[in-house]
Amino acid sequence: MNGGVILAPVLMLMTMVIAYITTSFMIETISLSSAKRYVGRSQTLFPLVRKSDQDPELLTQSDMDTKEKDSPFYIRQKLEVSILAEDHVGRWFKMVVIVILIIYMYGAMTLKYVAGAESCIEGISMTIYGDQKRLDEVLAPFDPYYLGLALFGGLSIVFSFGNIENSKGL
């Protein structure tokens, strides 16, 4: 517990508040972009459909649901960050956002590979020899970190490019 009993919950609470605010802003931005693209009920994902023309009671949606979906701010489609940037900021700011996201993802992936490789090698060493650094001594001229980097990188690529929606194979 290097963070301490008081500091860790405070930092976690601050992170939760920032995540909540960010999520609220993203939902509002997507809603505004949906309103900008709104052309009426003809292009909604959930059109009003009657199961039977003779029986008006058999609607696929309730009246409350229909009223809510008639709002131009109802989110009708998935929108990417670059589309949101096009709708709400200038072209130069869109490029800045994309560069920031690329730098962030590069840093996150680098950190994941470095920490994952180190943990992988220490875990293998601990499992086989009962000591975290013993594998380094056994493979003395060769640094096992590079083996862990290749192993962890290969596993990460398999899981990253796997079909997340159909994760049975993963």
Residue pLDDT, tens place only, 64-119: 555 666 677 777 777 877 788 778 888 888 888 788 888 998 888 888 888 888 88
Nearest 5°: CA angle at 114, between 112 and 119? 90
What pLDDT is stored for residue 20 in this prediction?
A: 96
Whether residue 68 is found in the same domain as residue 9: yes
Based on the fold, state whether residues 109 and 71 are members of the same structural domain. no
Domain of residue 100: give its range: 91-170
Nearest in space to 125 (alpha carbons), one of 114, 117, 136: 136
Over residues 4-23, mean pLDDT = 91
142 plus 105 within the same structural domain: yes
Q: Which of 140, 158, 145, 137 is nearest to 114 (CA)?
A: 145
Q: Is 90 left (phi over 0), alpha (psi -120 to 50) or beta?
A: beta
The domain tally of the chain equals 2
pLDDT band at 151 (very low <50, low <70, confident <90, very high): confident
**Which of 88, 123, 150 corresponds to the end of one domain?**
88
> What are the pLDDT digits (tens) for 121-146?
888 888 888 887 788 788 878 888 88
DSSP characters for 99-144? HHHHHHHHHHHHHHHHHHHHHHHHHHHHHHHSSSSHHHHHTTTS-H
What distance in Å separates the CA atoms of residue 35 and residue 75, rounded to the nearest whole number?
8
Together in a domain, 73 and 130: no
Residues 108 and 151 in one domain: yes
Which of 88, 103, 137 is the endpoint of a domain? 88
**Does 152 share its domain with 105?**
yes
- DSSP characters over 136-156: HHHTTTS-HHHHHHHHHHHHH
Last residue of a domain, one of 88, 120, 154: 88
Q: Looking at the structure, do residues 101 and 125 belong to the same domain, yes or no?
A: yes
Q: How far is CA 159 from CA 39, 81, 83, 162, 170, in A?
A: 39, 23, 27, 5, 7
One domain, residues 77 and 107: no
**DSSP-based three-state secondary structure for 50:** strand
State whether 57 and 104 are in the same domain.
Answer: no
Indicate if 108 and 128 belong to the same structural domain.
Answer: yes
**H or E segment at 8?**
helix 7-37
Instruction: Assess whether 109 and 164 both reside in one domain.
Output: yes
One domain for residues 46 and 113: no
The pLDDT tens digits for 33-62 are 888 877 655 555 555 555 555 555 555 555
